[in-house]
Amino acid sequence: MNLLEEIIVGATDDNVSTSNLLRKVTVVAHYLKAADVADWVRGELNGYKTVESLPRYRHNSITPVMGTWTGWGGNSSTQLLSSQGLPEDAAEVLFHVSFFQPISELEELTRLPEDPSQSWDPWQVVQYNKWNREGKGVWMENMQLLNARRIVSRASIRGVIDTIRNTALDLALNLHTTDENAGTLNGPTVADAPIATTVTNFVTNVWGHGTNLAFGDNAELRSKVVVNDVESLLSAARELGLAEDGIAELREAAEAPVPERQGKLKAVAKRVGAGALSLTGTVAAEVAGGQLDLLVQQFLGQI
């Protein structure tokens, strides 16, 4: 049984910890020379430091917020708060939660007897009281919000963990289908077009539409293409190594009438793959053609 098969079996076995499963993915990423896959595993095992680095399944989940109010004579009340009427960016900060913790910490949180919570900062409480006086959010007459905490359900945390395991499973299955020798010493790497496509699709699924994609030898080329943005497509193609004569063809195809656009763009990618258009970098024509096809799919909004 090779590593991919071990991951496939382990992802469906509750007795195999998610951490152990991910460590096997680390080895596969190393053999594939897939930097983005390695970054993903590192984040899952060690935790994430920035919002921008979070996979989309860990980012910005809405969560209930419980507030405690105090008033004259020692009166108090505890009830759910509302984001109604709050500025959109503030509501996102106060009523959403993102998961930065390593997978081991998330698993520990699911074992708690109660749902964990995250307290608002004091300044956020002060600001909510200000909005409260303006009639926004939950309005409590003659009372002040004393504290508030986001309630993070253990079920939602389990959902994140299940997504991580499913993501590892999908990657292993797709790699195994692409090449059963993937993830082995001296096996194929992201320098091979089929593996590059599989890894790119993985990256898109993890970080969402428009994310930076890794291509080429040692995954050194990273490009971002915005849907229907011709200049971003051309910039990415130049980074790929497409010479200016090819850039001119690509521009003409990208600016073609909509019914013709996809066919013309795919034709340019095929010409690159066949070596009919010049490349200035070290990427092989076949690989470059496959990578350009992926950039075209981004441009067309297909991935």
- The pLDDT-based confidence of 18 (bands split at 50, 70, 90) is very high
The per-residue pLDDT for range 125-160, each reduced to its tens digit, is: 999 998 888 888 877 778 899 999 999 999 999 999
d(CA 115, CA 133): 31
The answer to whether residue 164 sits within a structural domain is no
pLDDT mean across residues, the chain: 86
pLDDT for 222: 45
The answer to whether residue 239 sits within a structural domain is no
Q: Which of 72-76, 102-106, 293-297 has the lowest mean pLDDT?
A: 72-76
The answer to whether residue 100 sits within a structural domain is yes
State which residues form the domain around 93: 64-152
Nearest residue to 288 via CA among 190, 179, 186: 190
The per-residue pLDDT for range 193-240, each reduced to its tens digit, is: 888 888 888 888 888 643 333 333 333 344 567 778 888 889 888 888
The answer to whether residue 185 sits within a structural domain is no
Which pTM does this prediction carry? 0.67
Contacts of 176 (CB under 8 A, 6+ apart): 4, 5, 8, 182
pLDDT at 170 over 50: yes
pLDDT, mean of residues 179-198: 89
| Dihedral over alpha carbons 192, 194, 195, 196 (to 10 degrees) | 80
The answer to whether residue 102 sits within a structural domain is yes
pLDDT for 72: 80
pLDDT for 228: 82
pLDDT, mean of residues 271-279: 88
The answer to whether residue 18 sits within a structural domain is no
- pLDDT above 70 coverage of the chain, percent: 92
Instruction: Give the total number of structural domains in the chain.
Output: 1
